[in-house]
């Protein structure tokens, strides 16, 4: 018999650094998840992405077991990382805070492709460029 899904939880945690402290503990504790087991498995699965913020989708079952799926880092996080800035423009596209090349946008699009609603890297690049524009990041040729 298949396990019954009790809850689906989405979190964004720094890769390789999940601990039972908040925000992980305060969200997963009431759901009945073994915090230490989750933290160990999550840290093991994300150790190659150290330093990145990585979203995770956790499915909790009626017997308190769980599965999780690690997603790709948010587009805004990747854009800030590649542009070497701490935050985007407060005025959106009206104020330029950084410049990225088409090659850098392509790299970000290739990373994000599995989680984007796009069939090709070119379409994914347009999505990433739109986010960049809204953050005040100029895309040069």
Give the mean pLDDT per block of 10 residues along the chain (141 residues): 77 80 78 81 81 84 83 84 79 77 86 82 86 82 74
Residue 121 structural domain: 75-140
- Only one residue has tokens 């989708």, namely 57
pLDDT the model gives residue 14? 83
Domain endpoint, select from 21, 38, 70: 70
pLDDT the model gives residue 1? 52
Residue 82 and residue 57 share a domain:
no
Residue 61 and residue 39 share a domain:
yes
Residue 87 and residue 62 share a domain:
no
């Amino acid at each position: 018999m298949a396990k019954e899904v009790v809850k689906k939880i989405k979190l964004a945690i720094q890769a390789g650094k999940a601990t039972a402290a908040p925000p992980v503990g305060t969200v997963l504790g009431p759901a009945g998840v073994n915090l230490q087991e989750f933290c160990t498995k999550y840290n093991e699965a994300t150790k190659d992405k150290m330093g990145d913020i990585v979203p995770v989708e956790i499915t909790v079952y009626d017997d308190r077991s769980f599965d999780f799926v690690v997603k790709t880092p948010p587009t805004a996080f990747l854009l800030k990382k590649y542009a070497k800035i701490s935050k985007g423009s407060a005025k959106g596209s009206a104020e330029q805070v950084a410049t990225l090349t088409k090659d850098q946008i392509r790299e970000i699009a290739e990373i994000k492709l599995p989680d984007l609603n796009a069939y090709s890297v070119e379409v994914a690049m347009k999505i990433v460029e739109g986010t960049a524009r809204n953050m005040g990041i100029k895309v040069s040729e």
